Amino acid sequence: MSDKEPYIAWHGTTILAVRKGDQVVIAGDGQVSTGNTILKGNARKVRPLGKGDVIAGFAGATADAMTLFERLEAKIEQYPGQLTRACVELAKDWRTDRYLRRLEAMMIVADARVTLVLTGNGDVLEPEHGVVGIGSGGNYALAAARALADTEMSAEEIARKSMAIAAEICVFTNGNIVVESLKA
């Protein structure tokens, strides 16, 4: 990707965040694909960061995402309890550093107070309605989660059901779901 090409949204996975009541959940599938070949079915694309008070999920190139996780953890340590500030600082680095600009991934991060989407465009976005999805199955999971948001289901139940629906529709999403959650 050259410096002048627009950032390309990554496909090949599904990551979903659901915030409801006093709980926030990030769920991700485990499929790793190259082209039309499944390389691995149980990758862990969602994990806790920092001291466990932040959760994050990624869509995109795995090595790129690991680099971004490491950078975000350093920003979280630098700005403890200030997830938005840590994410803005990471986004600045991501946009201005020659090496980081070439990373091809997107992230959803959340703490007890806020859910954010980070992109290589320098975006730090807080989703509407407490729900956001990224990756190839992200829109399927997002639509299902928004439809289920007004039910009696918990955030985790909504995330699991929505991810199952996405796995039935998107060929790059499998049913091996990893879920991390936090209480507000």
Average pLDDT, the chain: 88
* Residue 10 clears pLDDT 50, i.e. is over it: no
Residue 64 lies in a domain: yes
Q: What is the pLDDT of residue 36?
A: 80
Q: How far apart are CA 70 and CA 76, in angstroms?
A: 10
Residue 48 lies in a domain: yes
What value does the mean pLDDT take over residues 52-67?
Answer: 86
Pairing of strands 105-110, 115-118: antiparallel
* Residue 55 clears pLDDT 90, i.e. is over it: yes
Q: What is the pLDDT of residue 4?
A: 45
* Residue 5 clears pLDDT 50, i.e. is over it: no
Residue 141 lies in a domain: yes
Is 13 catalytic? The answer is yes
Q: What percent of the chain has pLDDT over 90?
A: 64
What value does the mean pLDDT take over residues 21-50?
Answer: 90
Q: Model confidence at 67, in pLDDT bands (50, 70, 90)? A: confident
Domain, as residue range, for 86: 14-128+135-183
Please, what is the angle between helix 62-78 and helix 83-96, to 10°?
130
Residue 63 lies in a domain: yes
Q: How many domains does the chain have?
A: 1
What value does the mean pLDDT take over residues 142-165?
Answer: 97
- The domain spanning residue 123 has which CATH number? 3.60.20.10
What value does the mean pLDDT take over residues 139-144?
Answer: 97
